[in-house]
Amino acid sequence: MRSVLDQARAGGAEAFGEVCRAYETRLLRQAVALCGNAALAEDLAQDTLVEAWKSLRRYNGRCQFFTWLCAILLNRYRNTVRERRPRPFSTFAVGDVGALERRIDLAADHEPLPDEAALLREQAALVRQCVQALSPKHQQVIHLRFYVDNSLEGIAAALGCSVGTVKSRLFNALDKLRGMNAMSGQSIHIKSKPATV
């Protein structure tokens, strides 16, 4: 993949198309997890790839390419939220919710029992709501660390800050999420990942 990426960085549109095909499914999953709306997620993923093409020469290779894409995704999402007020999950049309649930179900590696699936969907919606209540800088580190599953060093490179800053933001974000969890009265588990660099 590295040589194809190098060809794309040199201006090869076909090579960039190949890179897009390699990452588009994962990127769409990240977008769905981030915004909870399948139609918005598709637009967001598409906008991210367009922005990545425009700024591909700025990718310096200090982090994984997918992490860099996710940082762009987070910025595009933040811009979208600024442009229009977010809607609560409960206001989605029944078709949107059904489509979202089907996408989430397709992304899962195994099929849970129906009662487990309902509980997982409720918890996922609660976690998504709590994460969206965080500040943008805290949303970024939570998303990159737990949804993209990247190293602290990779996150720091993608966000253009130090590993110490990432650790501090991550600690504060997790602390706030734990507080929200305690206030919600529901039992969701928010665990810290080991601080691997």
- Does the pLDDT of residue 86 top 50, yes or no? no
Does residue 192 belong to any structural domain of this protein?
no
Does residue 174 belong to any structural domain of this protein?
yes
- Does the pLDDT of residue 156 top 70, yes or no? yes
pLDDT digits (tens, 9 = 90+) for 9-59: 888 888 888 988 888 899 998 888 888 888 888 999 999 999 999 988 888
Residue 185: which of 126, 107, 136 has the closest Cα?
126
Tell me the C-alpha distance between 143 and 120, whole Å.
Answer: 18
Does residue 30 belong to any structural domain of this protein?
yes
3-class secondary structure per residue, the chain: CHHHHHHHHCCCHHHHHHHHHHHHHHHHHHHHHHHCCHHHHHHHHHHHHHHHHHCHHHCCCCCCHHHHHHHHHHHHHHHHHHHCCCCCHHHCCHHHHHHHHHHHHHHCCCCCCHHHHHHHHHHHHHHHHHHHCCCHHHHHHHHHHHHCCCCHHHHHHHHCCCHHHHHHHHHHHHHHHHHHHHHHCCCCCCCCCCCCC
Q: How confident is the model at residue 197 (pLDDT cuts 50, 70, 90)?
A: very low
Residue listed under structure tokens 């979208």: 80
- Does the pLDDT of residue 164 top 90, yes or no? yes
Tell me the C-alpha distance between 40 and 91, whole Å.
Answer: 15
Please say whether the dihedral angle defined by the alpha carbons of residues 107, 35, 177 and 63, taken in this order, is positive or negative: positive
For residue 83, the Cα-to-chain-centroid distance in whole angstroms is 19
| Structural domain containing residue 111 | 2-184
Does residue 105 belong to any structural domain of this protein?
yes
CATH value at residue 33: 1.10.10.10
Does residue 41 belong to any structural domain of this protein?
yes
Report the share of the chain in percent with pLDDT over 70: 73
Predicted pLDDT of residue 57: 84
DSSP 3-state of 165: helix
Does residue 143 belong to any structural domain of this protein?
yes
pLDDT digits (tens, 9 = 90+) for 121-142: 787 778 788 888 889 889 888 8
Tell me the C-alpha distance between 167 and 153, whole Å.
Answer: 10
How high is the mean pLDDT of the chain?
78
Predicted pLDDT of residue 59: 86
| pTM listed for this prediction | 0.54
Number of separate domains in the chain: 1
Does residue 190 belong to any structural domain of this protein?
no
Mean pLDDT, range 93-103, rounded to an integer:
60
